[in-house]
Amino acid sequence: MRFLIRFLRKTAAGSIEHTDRIIEAPVITIGRATDQILHLKDRRARLQHAQIAPKNGGLHVSSSSMAGVTVNGRSTRDAPLSVGDVIEAGANFLRVIDAPDGVDFAMTFELNEDDGGEHLEQSWTTAVSGVAGFSKRQLSWALLATIAVLALGLPALTLVSPGLASVLRGTDLLPDDGLWLSGPVHSAHSTTATECNACHIAPFQRVPDSACIECHDSVAHVGDDAPRVVGEVRCATCHQEHNEPAQLVNRHQGLCADCHQDLAGDSTVLPVSDFLDEHPEFRVTLLQAADDDGWAATRLLLSEAVSADRSNLRFDHKVHLDPDGIIAPDGQVVVECADCHELDAAGALMRPVSMDEHCSGCHTLSFDPDDPDRVVPHGDPPAVVQELVEYYSARLLGDDPESNVQRVRRPGQALTREDRDRVAAEARSRALEVAADLFERQACANCHEVSRTDGDSESPWIVQPVRLTESFFPHSRFVHSTHDTEVTDCESCHAASDSESAHDLLMPNIDTCRDCHGSGVARRNASEQIPSTCIMCHGFHLTASGE
């Protein structure tokens, strides 16, 4: 989130001066420790006293201290914040103010001038009874020296002596360099948790990208077809280890928006700062038949691709989704989306639709009413003709005991050459007659683009190959299984019941998604909207994809 902290200070003349500081962080930490964002100089405060963080669609202040914090005069350990609220932490006042444009949360930070600080007065030079006459100051210096030896000296020796490092890490009696960790190692790196040098190649230097790529086979941000590092982005910029709560991936909105809201000079990428407020129209990737009989991926704006799907398929969703059902071999059948569109094993995309698995139950490839179980193969016109020729040859020759067709050969008699030629010609003639009915009227032409050629080829029919686009948004992430279809049915996003052409692209536009998904900044959303940051749908580690 983007926080504005306004530090107030009273000058000698009695006027108030302020200094603004912008903080990009998921939470604002408050405490006496020097690593806290708001550093309190009050001994009554704990080292990590409180924090301000998103919760339940708003911002809350919470404290791990038993005394908690005081919000609007009442002591509490957790409270929601709104404009005008005053938080007291020791001798400090934090007041929530209206956030200016571009800022998610704003507050002032000031010292309570009425606090005299009497609680800080200590007699540091007076001897402490029962401690051999040592004063508090002397005891403090002795404790500091002990800590320096145990927490700095011994762990520092491990940098020059790997053998000592193994000894210290293997015992609970003496401290090792694990004391220097700012937090535990994430569970994803548990196998190397005790091998600090696996990532920290050089002492007191930040982890280089080469140490990450040693185990993680990944490239940096990709532009066009070649790897391209964006600015000074490092792996550790987004993947921050040793943090609590353990979260290796930085999901903050500013991670992407800080750069992508103003990409001057890059005409290939449109500016985007927030899904709700500023996001370009969706682009889809479609497979189109190429001149070399292959398929090429084309990217189009969704508004330009409404009727641009060219898979060579003939299909009418409206007919198939008729609520009264369609006529099938087994009677009237009501077809639903899930009958043909099934989730893959990962629950993200849909499995490919196939003739054998999804269509053959209604669209049979039988060709002889007297033999309804006999079908021709799908997808290979020459094989269809050959299957028919063999079928009718067997019937004419009397090899089919169920056949009632006039047989050419009498039992016990050899077939003459003249008979063979007549059978072959008659079988092929009958096969081509039936094939013409299959290809042009009865079966194939219902779903495919079929053309007929002149000549004496094995099969005079050409059926245009069909290839359906499996992923229309290959550069984004979408998981169907997380969109509960018991609450949101398919028609909510895909208007299939009104589509009469396979050319229709039934992908939802950005406004459909905005019905549920709102801004990456929670407070800008309606109560029912899901805060949606860039990383929810887009990955940083992109790979070049043609489909």
Burial 179-213 (b: 16+ CB within 10 A, else e): eeeeeebbeebeeeeeebeebbeeeeeebbbebee
Helices and strands in the chain, H and E counts: 13, 22
Residue 526 in contact with residue 518, Cβ under 8 Å?
Answer: yes
Contacts of 462 (CB under 8 A, 6+ apart): 381, 450, 451, 452, 453
Q: Which pLDDT tens digit goes with each residue over 348-404? A: 889 999 998 999 888 889 998 888 889 999 988 999 999 999 998 888 876 554 544
Residue 222 has pLDDT above 70, yes or no: no
Domain boundaries, the chain: 2-115, 283-353+468-508, 381-463
Neighbours of 237 (CB within 10 A): 14
Residue 544 has pLDDT above 90, yes or no: no
Burial 397-432 (b: 16+ CB within 10 A, else e): bbebeebeeeebbeeeeeeeeeeeeebeebbbebbb
Instruction: Please state the separation of Cα 39 from the chain's center in Å.
Output: 37
Neighbours of 491 (CB within 10 A): 13
Q: Which pLDDT tens digit goes with each residue over 276-310? A: 989 999 999 998 888 777 888 888 999 988 888 88
Residue 431 has pLDDT above 70, yes or no: yes
pLDDT-based confidence at 66, cuts 50/70/90?
Answer: confident
Query: Residue 387: its pLDDT value, please?
Result: 92
CA pair distance 461, 454, nearest whole angstrom: 9
Query: Residue 512: its pLDDT value, please?
Result: 92
Residue 410 has pLDDT above 60, yes or no: no
Tell me the pTM.
0.59
Neighbours of 176 (CB within 10 A): 21
Query: Residue 120: its pLDDT value, please?
Result: 43
Q: Which pLDDT tens digit goes with each residue over 127-174? A: 776 677 788 788 889 999 998 888 888 888 877 777 787 788 778 788
Query: Residue 121: its pLDDT value, please?
Result: 45
6-20, 261-275, 318-332, 408-422: which is most confident? 318-332
Neighbours of 389 (CB within 10 A): 19
Residue 457 has pLDDT above 80, yes or no: no
Residue 100 has pLDDT above 70, yes or no: yes
Residue where the block lists tokens 């001038």: 113
CA pair distance 164, 172, nearest whole angstrom: 14
CA pair distance 37, 4, nearest whole angstrom: 12
Pairing label, strands 50-55, 58-63: antiparallel
Query: Residue 225: its pLDDT value, please?
Result: 45
Is the bond into 245 cis (omega within 30 degrees of 0)? yes
- Looking at 2.60.200.20, 3.60.150.10, 2.40.50.140, 3.40.50.300, the CATH number of the domain 2-115 comes to 2.60.200.20
